[in-house]
Amino acid sequence: MFDRTDRLIIEELFKNSRITMKELGRKVHLTGQAVADRVAKLEDRGVIESYTIKVNQELLGYPVHVLLTIQMTGGNHRPYLSFLEQQQEYVLHNYKVSGHGCYQLECRFPSNEELDQFLTALGRHANYALSIVIKS
C-alpha cells in the first residue's frame, strides 16, 4: 500500500508543491529519479489528484470571510445551486452535509455591503445562519 517514504513525500508536497524532485529526494533520502517515480505512481493511483496554490484572500481584496449554514426550504435545490454558479467570485466552498443544515458555504467578500447584497439574494433561495470568521 503506502509506506513511510510515500507519506513523507506527500507531507513535503503539502508544504511546497513546487519543490524540485532533486530537493524532494534529498528530504526523503532518495535520488531525484527514485522520488519522481514514486510521485508518478502516487499520481497514477489517484492519491495525488492535483497541485495547487494557497492565495491570501485579504491581499486580493476579500477581507470579509464568512461561513453559512444553509437550510433548504424545499426539496428542489437547483435554484440555490444555480444562484451559487452566478456568485463564483465570492464562493470558496459549498459542501453538501448531513446534520444541521443542508450545505456549509464558505465565502469571501470585499466589503460588508457586498456581503449584505449576497445575503439578500441568497434569502430568496434558502434560509441561512451566518458566522463571520474572526481568525483562521
Name the pairing type of β-strands 91-96 and 127-132. Answer: unpaired
Q: Is 103 domain-assigned? A: yes
pLDDT interval class at 54 (50, 70, 90): confident
pLDDT interval class at 65 (50, 70, 90): very high
Q: CATH number of the domain that 8 lies in?
A: 1.10.10
Which one-letter DSSP state was computed for residue 26?
H
Mean pLDDT over 78-96 rounds to 97
Mean pLDDT over 35-42 rounds to 97
pLDDT interval class at 96 (50, 70, 90): very high
Domain that holds residue 97: 64-132
Residue 1 has pLDDT above 90, yes or no: no
Q: Is 52 domain-assigned? A: no
Please give the Cα distance from 61 to 111 (Å, whole number): 9
116 in the same domain as 78? yes
Q: Does the predicted model carry a pTM greater than 0.85?
A: no
Mean pLDDT over 85-89 rounds to 97
Q: Is 49 domain-assigned? A: no
Residue 39's pLDDT is what?
A: 97
Torsion of CA 57, 62, 64, 66, to 10 degrees: -60
Mean pLDDT over 45-60 rounds to 93
pLDDT interval class at 80 (50, 70, 90): very high
Q: Is 55 domain-assigned? A: no
Q: How many domains does the chain have?
A: 2
Percent of the chain whose predicted confidence (pLDDT) is above 90: 91
Phi, psi of 127, deg, nearest 5:
-90, 155
Residue 73's pLDDT is what?
A: 82
37 in the same domain as 72? no
Residue 112 has pLDDT above 90, yes or no: yes
HSE-CB at 44 with a 13 A cutoff on CA atoms is 6
107 in the same domain as 78? yes
Name the pairing type of β-strands 64-71 and 91-96. Answer: unpaired
> C-alpha cell of 128?
441561512
Q: CATH number of the domain that 74 lies in?
A: 3.30.70.920
